[in-house]
Amino acid sequence: MIEVAADVFFLQTANTSYWFARTEHGHLEHLHYGPLLSPQHSSALQVKRTIELGSSVVYAPGDTAYSLDAVPLEYSGIGQGDYRLSPVEVFTEFGTDTDFTYRSHRILPGTVPAADLPTADGGAGVETLEVTLADEVAGLELVLLYTVFPEVDVITRRTILRNTGDSPAEIVKLASLQLDLPDRGFTVRSFDGGWIHEAHAHDRPLSPGSSRSAARPGRAAIATTRAPCCSRATRMTTTAGSTASTSSTRAITPPPSSGMHTARCACCRVSTRKRSAGSSRPARGSRRPKRCSRSPPRASTASRIGCIASCAST
């Protein structure tokens, strides 16, 4: 079930609630994600903005208590005072500064199909909230899609970026979601392993700093195939009027997990080993890495906390 009242968005499943609100400056402030709550006045859950914050950048003249660095956001830009990891980075004729504020919203029945990207099937009671944010100066439009599957306690998220300006925009990274949560002793559970010993659960506390979870191919006894990451970020260029989107490959299910994948261009590299005569082991010094031109580049995207998926432009 999805309700909107007094600039507050209530997303409800059978046992969980996901709430966020529109601030006085048009940003989307995250309020609650956890046990089911009945829709009510949200002032008790909002960040109190009554005093000036030290070592912070004021967003708007005349409102010295409003700083984006202290607000839990649904989606953040760059260059407006939020120094945490941003889920989107786009080069326009004005640089990389972006400020996405509320423009409109609508509630749609069922799911919203994504062009050339996987989409979960709908069912009874499934609804999608579409919230449109815009940066009028940069000529960009950001669409946040929240699909609620109430009976199975699942909320999925997807992000669409549109270039509405007159000049091309170069996308460095675009994440499916951003999830800002208060520090309440969260535990990150990952399922690690390798060939024939997959999916070993490992729990670790979510601590300050950046965490990375990545998957790499295994290795054989004689020959190995490697996919190392090089140092340059993968970029996409969109022309005026074009669209790029990300699709979440995992649903948001409580308790939220943390993951961060940096955007990299991965090249395939093949290593071979030669056996010496009469030996069952590879000869030392015989590994000769060489670049494999048959494997296409792969790309992934990043966010502060959340599920990450690959980008695709149309």
Task: Determine the straight-line distance between the first and last CA of the chain, rounded to whole angstroms.
Answer: 31
Sort 221 into a burial class: Cβ within 10 Å, 0-12 / 13-18 / 19+: exposed
Phi-psi region of 25 (alpha: psi -120 to 50; beta: other; left: phi over 0): alpha
Instruction: Judge whether residue 288 has pLDDT over 60.
Output: no
Which neighbouring-strand residues pair with 30? 20
Residue 90 in 3-state DSSP?
strand
Please state which of the ranges 28-32, 228-232, 296-300 shows the lowest mean pLDDT: 228-232
Q: Which residues of 13-24 are buried (b: 16+ CB within 10 A; e: fewer)?
A: beebbbbbbbbe
Checking 142-148 for CB contacts under 8 A at 24+ apart, the result is: 142/75, 142/88, 142/100, 144/28, 144/74, 144/75, 145/112, 146/2, 146/11, 146/18, 147/111, 147/112, 147/120, 148/1, 148/2, 148/11, 148/12, 148/13
Residue 234 scores a pLDDT above 50 = no
What mean pLDDT, rounded, does the chain reach? 76
**Residue 59 clears pLDDT 50, i.e. is over it:** yes
Indicate if the pLDDT at residue 63 is higher than 70: yes
**Contact present, 51 and 67 (Cβ < 8 Å):** no
Q: What pLDDT does residue 241 have?
A: 66
Q: Where are the alpha helices (DSSP H) in the chain?
A: none
Say whether pLDDT at 301 is over 70: no
Predicted local distance difference test score (pLDDT) of residue 239: 61
Q: Mean pLDDT: which of 67-76, 111-120, 285-294 is highest?
A: 67-76
Distance, in Å, from the CA atom of 262 to the CA atom of 254, rounded to the nearest integer, reads 24
Residue 238, pLDDT > 80, answer: no
What number is the average pLDDT over the span 162-187? 91
Question: Which amino acid is residue 138, in one-letter code?
Answer: A
Domain ranges of the chain: 74-180+221-275+285-314
pLDDT at 300 over 60: no
| Residue 14, pLDDT score | 95
* Across 91-102, average pLDDT: 94
Q: What angle do CA 100, 25, 76 make, to 5 degrees?
A: 30
Residue 258 in contact with residue 206, Cβ under 8 Å?
A: yes
The whole-number average pLDDT for the span 223-246 is 46
